[in-house]
Every structure is written in structure tokens, then in C-alpha cells.
Amino acid sequence: MRTVRLLIGFDGTRYEGWQSQRKDRTIQEIFEKILLRLFKERTDLVSSSRTDSGVHALGLVAHFKTASRLSDRKIKDALNFYLPRDILVRAAKTVDNRFHARFSAKSKLYRYDIWRSATRPLREGPYALWHPGPLDLPLMRKASRHLLGTHDFSAFQDGGDQGRGAVRTIRSIRIAAKGPLVRIEVKGNGFLRHMVRIIVGTLIEVGRRKLPPEALPGIIASKKRPSAGPTAKSHGLTLVKVQY
């Protein structure tokens, strides 16, 4: 048996996230049906991230094990032949059998795009949260600094992450603007359910001057979800890169 690592990108608009739900609307189900067609046996695909419904990816990593002698190039080409146009395998590579897409990951980089304009976006609409009002970016940057480092992020998760605890390390948060586009990039060693979206929702409240930056340490210390801001909509979020 060999382990094959896939680098995957997708537009998540039409899908109910990554994880199989037996509804034929998840990325995992689509891949596993194609792998069954290629290898004539059930092949489990393990992902680096369980993306939510509507979330996009540029660099999601997944792996599977197979006894097939099909070359990496032919696996990539065959998958792309059968995949819908909004899902793409960027690379396929046989790796050490000890590799695990989720547990071998050292960090993940997410970005969240906000379209700051009085008029809703057209082409950018499926990939950015429309925010018609002003946002104070210096205040948002000031607030984001309180999130850096290792903390219990219980206040920034929807539901429990049973068995793993809520301690995570945020290594960087970058907030930049170009015209109407505001891009927030968050890099960490791992993330809880909806964690990045709640961080963004909280920073937007700061940007709207509804929440002072100095409130962030108290929110973290509370470990209570109601203390933080709302969960930003999923379509603005993209998994950019997983580092190993």
C-alpha cells in the first residue's frame, strides 16, 4: 500500500463543506466516488481541514492509501477528468506512509475577504462578505494583536471540539485593504469549529466601533461564546495553504 497526497482547490459555493454526509453534496463524497471508479474498491480520503458549507479552498491537502500502480500523474489527470469544473486537483504525489493530512500539519493559513462598498459586489459576491458601512482598520489591527499567541479559544468556537480541547496558537493576523477589498489573513497551528469566522465577526464589530479593542483579552478570558462577535458568513472564507 502507498500513500498519495493530493493538493486540492475548489469553489465551495455549491457544496455542503468537505465531510461526507451521504447527501452527494460534499467534496469528500465526490472524490471518494471517483476513487471507487478508478480503483474498483472503496478508498477513504482524509482531509487536512473539514471546511464548512460554502467555504472555498486554494490549497487543501488530503491523502488516501492504495495498492494501485497508477502513476501520480495519471491519478491527478484521471481525477481532474471526472471532477466537476469547480473542483481541481493541483498535484498528486506518493509520500511516506507515515504522512497524515491532518495530524502531520504544522500550520494553516486562512483568508477572509470583505467587500467594503455602498453597492454590493458582482463578480466578487460569492467570495467576499459585503459590508456597506465603514470599517476602522487601525482599530481592527489593534484588536487582532490580542489574539496572537497561545490561548484557550473557547469563546471563538461554535459547538465543542470534543477530545481536543480549545487551546490553539495564532501565529499571525494580517489585515490589508486594496480599494473596496479588505483581506484578513489568519495563520495558526489549528482552528476550532467556525473559529476564523468568529474572529472575523468580532474584528468587524471592532471596525464598526461597536466593540473596543481592549475588550479582546476579556473575551478570551471568559471562554464563553456569547462574549465574542457574530460568526461571519462562510462564503468569504478561503483555506489558502497547509504547511507540513
Average of per-residue pLDDT across 5-31 = 88
d(CA 3, CA 64): 6
Length of the chain measured in residues: 244
Nearest-5° Cα angle at 238, 106 to 16: 105
Contact status, residue 60 vs residue 49, Cβ threshold 8 Å: yes
d(CA 139, CA 206): 7
- State which H helix or E strand residue 35 sits in: helix 27-39
| 3-class secondary structure, 142 | helix
Say if residue 216's pLDDT is above 90.
yes
136 part of the active site = no
Say if residue 29's pLDDT is above 60.
yes
pTM: 0.93
Least confident of 5-9, 17-21, 170-174, 200-204: 17-21
- State which H helix or E strand residue 66 sits in: strand 56-66
Taking residue 46's Cβ as centre, other Cβ atoms within 10 Å add up to: 16
Say if residue 193's pLDDT is above 60.
yes
| pLDDT tens digits, one per residue of 74-124 | 999 999 999 999 999 999 999 999 999 999 999 999 999 999 999 999 999
**From 52, 86, 113, 136, active-site residue:** 52
